[in-house]
A and B are shown apart, each in its own frame.
Chain A
Amino acid sequence: DAGVTQSPTHLIKTRGQQVTLRCSPKSGHDTVSWYQQALGQGPQFIFQYYEEEERQRGNFPDRFSGHQFPNYSSELNVNALLLGDSALYLCASSFLPRVPGELFFGEGSRLTVL
C-alpha cells in the first residue's frame, strides 16, 4: 500500500518564478492538506482540499493556490516566488475532513528560492 507520494523531491527556483508541487494521497484517503515547514520550525497549514474544493485555508497569501483532481491527487501552486517561500512543502492525506484524526505525511518537496 503506497503512502503519500510527492514530487519533485527537490527544486530550485529564482525570485518571481512560479512553481507547481504534486501530491498523491494514501490509498483510500479523500482529503489532502498542504503544509509549509520552514527550517527549524513546525509545519504551518496552507490549505485543505476535499471533493475538489478548497475547504479550509491558513494565513497564506493568494499567491498560494491549489487544486484537487477527481482521483484525489492534488497540486500546490506558488506564484511570484519570494526568498521567504524557501521551505519544505508537506502534503498530508486523511479521510473525512470533519473528523480530527491522523494525517499521513509525504516526504515533502524542498523548495529553494534564490
Chain B
Amino acid sequence: GENVEQHPSTLSVQEGDSAVIKCTYSDSASNYFPWYKQELGKRPQLIIDIRSNVGEKKDQRIAVTLNKTAKHFSLHITETQPEDSAVYFCAASGNAGNMLTFGGGTRLMVKP
C-alpha cells in the first residue's frame, strides 16, 4: 500500500519568515495530494491540494509543488503569521477512490 513520509516533525520559525514542509510517497499511482491544517482540538481542514497533472499551485501565501518523478511534494508558506501555528498533514490518494494516506504531521510554531 501507499506510504507517506513527512519532514520535519516540528518546525519553528519567526513571524514573517517562510516555512517549508516536505513529503514523499511510495505509490506511483497516487494522483491527488492534499494538505490539511489541524489546530489543537480541532478537525483537520483542507488548505490546498494538487493533482498529478500540475507541478505547482498557489493560493495567496500558500503554495504546493509536486515532483512526480521523484515522488515528493512540498508545502510552502510565506510571510508566516502566529495564526499559522498548527499541525500540518500531507496526504496522498490514488486510483482506489479517495482513501487518503496521511503523513505523520509537522507541528509548525510561528514565534511573534
Interface set of A (CB-CB < 8 Å, partner B) = 4, 31, 33, 35, 40-45, 48, 55-56, 58-59, 90, 94, 97-108
Contact: B97 with A97, CB < 8 Å?
A: yes
Q: Are B98 and A99 in contact (CB under 8 A)?
A: yes
Chain A residues contacting B44 (CB-CB under 8 Å) are: 43, 90, 105
- Please determine whether B46 and A102 come into contact, CB atoms closer than 8 angstroms: yes
Q: Check: B14 CB closer than 8 A to any chain A CB.
A: no
In which size bucket is the chain B interface? 20 to 34
User: What number of residue pairs across chains A and B have CB atoms under 8 A from each other?
Assistant: 65
Bound CA span A99–B4, Å: 20
A59, B51: Cα distance in complex, Å: 26
Stretch from B65-73, B78-86, B99-107 forming part of the interface with A: B99-107
Q: A100-B32, A100-B93, A106-B43 are in contact. Are A44 and B102 (CB under 8 A)?
A: yes
Bound together, the chains give a CA A42 to CA B101 distance in angstroms of 9
Given A41-B104, A42-B104, A102-B49, A107–B42 Cβ distance below 8 Å? yes
Nearest chain B CB to A74's CB is how many angstroms away? Answer: 15
Contact A48 B32 (CB under 8 A): no
- Please give 10 more A-B residue pairs, beta carbons under 8 A apart, in addition to A90-B43, A94-B98, A102-B34: A4-B43, A31-B98, A35-B100, A40-B105, A43-B89, A55-B97, A100-B32, A102-B46, A105-B36, A107-B43
A57 to B43, CA, bound (A): 22
Say how far A44's CB is from chain B's closest CB, in angstroms: 7
Asked whether B31 is an interface residue with its Cβ less than 8 Å from the other chain, the reply is: yes
Cα–Cα, bound, A53→B78 (Å): 43
Say if the beta carbon of B54 comes within 8 Å of chain A.
Answer: no
A100 in contact with B42 (CB, 8 Å): no
Which residues of A sit under 8 angstroms from B34, Cβ to Cβ? 102-103
How many angstroms from the CA of A98 to the CA of B4 in the assembled complex? 21
> Is B46 in contact with A56, judged by CB distance below 8 angstroms?
no
